[in-house]
Structure 1
Amino acid sequence: MDKIDISLIKWLQEDGRMTVSDLSKKLSLSRPSISERLLRLQEKGIIEGFNARVSPAAIGRTVQLIIQVSELKVSPQEFERRIKDDEDIIECHRVTGIVSHMIKAAVTSMDDLSKLVERLLPYGNVNTSVILSSPVLNRTLLPKRQ
């Protein structure tokens, strides 16, 4: 990745709806050149996709939480397969250490939080933490300078 690619992914992370024309003006490159770079960055897997960030609270999911799951009673693959379609779960990460999985979830109420915990309890020990605030959220990600 050169400096132009880095600038390109920086601009797109700040505004994913930025047009090729806008990017070409900001980077002083032709539209076809920007399009080629975007395609190459996608083919390399650097740009994974484009999507909208939705506020959980704005759609009624006012309780966000981090769930730690440890001491699984089933294989990690079985656990992941079983929770994959749970609509309350936003993210799930298999991690190292005593805790095997970190889950981010968003529910509409404390009652729904209780139901989610009940759904997870058969698989292992569950520890929940309600998110009070998120001081770092959706940070722009760029390659480290060497």
Structure 2
Amino acid sequence: MESLDRIDRNILALLQADGRLTGAEVGRRVGLSQPAASARIQRLERNGVITGYRAVVDPVALGLNIHATIRLRTTHAQLPHALTFASRTPEIASTLRVTGEDCLIFDVYCPQAERLEEVVDALARYGPVTTSLVLRVYPQKPLTEAASTTS
């Protein structure tokens, strides 16, 4: 993939903050015409830099009042089973495979403590688990900030 210039990085930062910006608005903010900005956005999409657009939903508005991370230490034999369980469990929003003592980290949203207990107990069939309640989520920084330090 070709390298990203400063304007590409600015476009990415804008769209990560608000994916609903129009090509005209993006162009205005980065100093390009609407057609030039739209062409850059399309190129970023075509090259797989921008992989999609989505709505960000407040879990509490859906009644999911408990947010936790669950770390699982398992064996290679149990790993596929744990991943299958995670893919079929709606409360598990995301799964990370990690290095270190733990193998997987799950991001979990539940309506009440009893359901979190059920998810924890079910995951414990695959190995030792450690559960942490999330007290607060801080805003995610645009990935372009991290990428600009490597360029």
TM-score under structure 1 normalisation?
A: 0.91
Match status 1:125 vs 2:128: yes
| Correspondent of 1:47 among 50, 68, 76 | 50
| Correspondent of 1:72 among 72, 75, 78 | 75
Conserved 8 A contact 1:73-1:124: no
Conserved 8 A contact 2:24-2:34: yes
In structure 2, runs of 5+ residues without a counterpart are none
Q: Percent identity between the aligned chains?
A: 28
Conserved 8 A contact 1:73-1:123: no
1:144 maps to amino acid: S
Aligned to 2:99: 96
Aligned partners of 1:45 and 1:75: how far apart in 2? 33
Aligned partners of 1:9 and 1:137: how far apart in 2? 16
Shift of 1:140: 1.5
Match status 1:5 vs 2:14: no
Q: Which runs of 4+ in 1 moved over 4 A?
A: none
In structure 1, runs of 5+ residues without a counterpart are none
Shift of 1:24: 1.6
Match status 1:139 vs 2:146: no
Aligned partners of 2:76 and 2:108: how far apart in 1? 21
Q: Deviations over 1:59-112 (max 9, x none)?
A: 110100010000337342332123212110011000001100011100000011
Shift of 1:44: 2.1
Query: What pairs with 1:17-32 in structure 2 (closer than 5 Å)?
Result: 17-32=20-35
Task: Give the number of equivalent residue pairs.
Answer: 145
1-10 or 27-36, larger mean C-alpha shift: 27-36
Q: CA RMSD in A?
A: 1.6
Aligned partners of 1:43 and 1:73: how far apart in 2? 36
